[in-house]
Structure 1
C-alpha cells in the first residue's frame, strides 16, 4: 500500500523556501524557522507572498513533489510540475472512455457514491444527536438521498445523471445548517454560495474544497491520468474535470466533516474570519492555520476501504481511487469501484 506523504503548507508572509541537504528549509526574515525531510513530502502548498529557490523547484519536479501557489482566498495561482509521466496508451483509453456515451458508467458510480456519502454524513449526525431540533428534517433528507442515489445508478444519460446530482445537492445543502451545533451568529448557514463565499461556513467549505482538489489533481498525475479529461464534469478550458470528478465521493467524508467538526467543537471563532467590502468572507491567517491542521489530522485517520478490504488513511483515498480508475481504463477490472463511506 502506498505510504501517505505529508503536505508542507507555508502560510507565513515573506517566507523563502530552499533545499538544504536532504531537507526543505523555510526561512523567515533571514532565519530558518522550519525544516521538513524531503522524502516525506508529497506536496508543497504556498500561500500569499512566498518565494522558492529555482534549485528547490527543480528538485521538487524531479522528485514528484507537486508545488502549488495559492492566493489569500485559496485561489490557485500557479503550479510547478515536472515532465508529464504515464503511459500514453492509458491516456488514449481515458480519452475514449470520457466520450458522452462511454463516460456514463463511471459517472454513475461517482455520483451515486457522492450522494451515498453525503447521506452517510447525515446518518452520523442522527446517530450522534438523536432527537435534536431539525432531526426530522435531516432524517427526511437522508431518505431522499437514498432514493436519489439508487436512481443515479440507472440514469439513462449524463444530463439525467447531472439532474439527479443537482437534486441531491439541493436537498443536502437545504438541511446542512441543521448539522451545525454552534449557536454563534457567525455560523448561521442559509445555503451554499461561492466565488466568493459570503458567510463563514461557506468560506471554510470553499477553502477545504481547494485543498481537496489539489490532492485529487496530484493523484491523477501520479497515476498517469489526464486531470482535465473527466467523466462527469463537462470539458472547459483550464478546468481540471477529472480531479473534480474524483473529489465528488470525498467531499462529505473529508471536507464537509472537517468543516462541521471545527465549527461544532468551537475551534473556529468569529475573529478567524475577514469580511471584505465586496461581501466576500475569507479565513484570517489564524483561521486558515486552524483549518489546515484539522484537514491534515482528518487525512491521517484510518478506515477500511470498502472495495480493497484494507485499513487505509483517508488521505490516501485520492491516490487509491485514481489508481483504481486507471486499472479500470486499462481493462484490469470490469468497473470503476467508487468509494462508499461505510
Structure 2
C-alpha cells in the first residue's frame, strides 16, 4: 500500500522554488520563506508565475515527485514527471484494450457517477428533509435512477454521454438546494466552467483540477498511460483516463464544497471577481480550500470492494491499481468506487 505523504501547494504568485541539497526551498521577494525536505513531499502544485528551477524539477523527477503548474486562477498548465514506472507490457495491453470500445466499462463508470450523485442527495435529504418540500430532490433521485437503468439498455456511447449530460443538468438544477447557509452569497444557477461565474463554480472547478492531477499521478505510478482513456476522447494535452476515473470521484469534491459553505468555513471575501465576470478563489480562499482538502484526504473510509480501511487520499492509487489489474486480466471487471 502506498504511504500517504503530503502535497505541497505554492500559492504566493511571486514564489520561486529552488533546490538546496535534499531540500525544497521557497523564495519570494528576495527572501527565503521556508524549506522542506523531499522525504515529506508526495507531489507539488505551483500556482505562481515564476515556477521552479530546472535543478529542482530534475530532482523531483528522480524521486518520482510530480510537479503540477497551475495558473493563479486554477487552470491546469503543465506537469513535470519523471521516468514512467511499471511494465511496458501493461501499457501495451492498455492501448490494445482501449482501441476497442469498452461498453461495459463505460456503462459502469457512468452508472457509478450517477449512483454516487444519488447518494449525496439522499444523505443531504436525510439530514435536512425540509429542502424537499416540493419534491424536487426526490424527483431528481428518480431521474438519476432512471438514467442508471437506461445506461444499461443502450449500446451507443453517444446516447450514454447524452444520458450522463441530462442527469448532470438535473443534479446541478437542484444543487443550490443543498446549500443551507450563506445562501445570499453562495448559489449555483447552473454549472459554468471556463470561466466559473460564481463562487460555488469557482470552488468546484478548482478542486476538480486538483482531483484530476491526483489521479494522473496515481495512474502513472502504477504504469498506466493517463492520456489514453476509455470514455473521454483522446485529446492532445488532456489526461483522458484521469478524467474517466474522476467521474466516480466527483461526489467527494462536491460534498466537500457543500460542507465548507454550510459550516461557514469559506466566506465571500475569499473570492475575487474579475472585470469579465469570472470568479476565482483568492490566495486566502485557496489556502482554506486546500487545507480542508488535505484534511479530507486523511479521513478513513472503508473501501467498498477491498473491504479495508484506507485514507481517502489513497483512493486514486487504489482505483488505479484495480484498473491495472483489470487491464492485465487479473479481474473480470473494474470495481468502480461506489458510496454506500
TM-score (norm: length of structure 2): 0.95
Return the offset for 1:135. 6.9
TM alignment of 1:287-302, pairs within 5 A: 287-302=285-300
TM alignment of 1:125-144, pairs within 5 A: 125-132=124-131, 136-144=135-143
Q: Distance in 2 between matches of 1:259 and 1:80?
A: 28
Return the offset for 1:275. 1.1
Return the offset for 1:154. 4.3
Q: Is contact 1:225–1:326 with CA below 8 Å preserved after alignment?
A: yes
Q: Is contact 1:223–1:326 with CA below 8 Å preserved after alignment?
A: yes
Q: Distance in 1 between matches of 2:291 and 2:4?
A: 16
1:202 alignment partner in structure 2: 201
Q: Is contact 1:126–1:135 with CA below 8 Å preserved after alignment?
A: no
Q: Distance in 1 between matches of 2:147 and 2:192?
A: 23
Alpha carbon RMSD of aligned pairs, Å?
1.7
1:171 alignment partner in structure 2: 170
Q: Distance in 2 between matches of 1:319 and 1:155?
A: 31
TM alignment of 1:103-114, pairs within 5 A: 103-114=102-113
Deviates more, 1:134-143 or 1:256-265: 134-143
2:281 alignment partner in structure 1: 283
Q: Is contact 1:18–1:53 with CA below 8 Å preserved after alignment?
A: yes
Q: Call closer, same or farther: CA 1:135–1:324 in 2, change over 3 Å.
A: farther
Q: Call closer, same or farther: CA 1:282–1:51 in 2, change over 3 Å.
A: same
For structure 2, the residue ranges without an aligned partner over 5 or more in a row are none
Superposed CA deviations along residues 284-303 of structure 1, whole A, max 9, x for unmatched, are 11111111111111111111
Q: Call closer, same or farther: CA 1:91–1:52 in 2, change over 3 Å.
A: same
Q: Distance in 1 between matches of 2:312 and 2:159?
A: 31
Q: Distance in 2 between matches of 1:145 and 1:52?
A: 45
Q: Is contact 1:229–1:242 with CA below 8 Å preserved after alignment?
A: yes
Q: Distance in 1 between matches of 2:148 and 2:281?
A: 33
2:308 alignment partner in structure 1: 310
Q: Is contact 2:182–2:264 with CA below 8 Å preserved after alignment?
A: no
Superposed CA deviations along residues 255-276 of structure 1, whole A, max 9, x for unmatched, are 1011111111112222111111
Q: Is contact 1:117–1:249 with CA below 8 Å preserved after alignment?
A: yes
Return the offset for 1:21. 4.0
For structure 1, the residue ranges without an aligned partner over 5 or more in a row are none
Report the number of matched residues. 340
Describe the SS at the equivalent of 2:129: coil
Return the offset for 1:25. 2.6
Q: Distance in 2 between matches of 1:169 and 1:303?
A: 26
Describe the SS at the equivalent of 1:187: coil
Q: Is contact 1:11–1:47 with CA below 8 Å preserved after alignment?
A: yes
Q: Does 1:75 align with 2:75?
A: yes
Q: Call closer, same or farther: CA 1:183–1:54 in 2, change over 3 Å.
A: closer
Q: Is contact 2:131–2:177 with CA below 8 Å preserved after alignment?
A: no
Superposed CA deviations along residues 278-325 of structure 1, whole A, max 9, x for unmatched, are 121111111111111111111111110000010111111111111110
Q: Is contact 2:260–2:266 with CA below 8 Å preserved after alignment?
A: yes
Q: Distance in 1 between matches of 2:317 and 2:172?
A: 28
Describe the SS at the equivalent of 1:250: helix
TM-score (norm: length of structure 1): 0.94
Return the offset for 1:87. 2.0
Superposed CA deviations along residues 26-58 of structure 1, whole A, max 9, x for unmatched, are 233344333333123221001122432322211
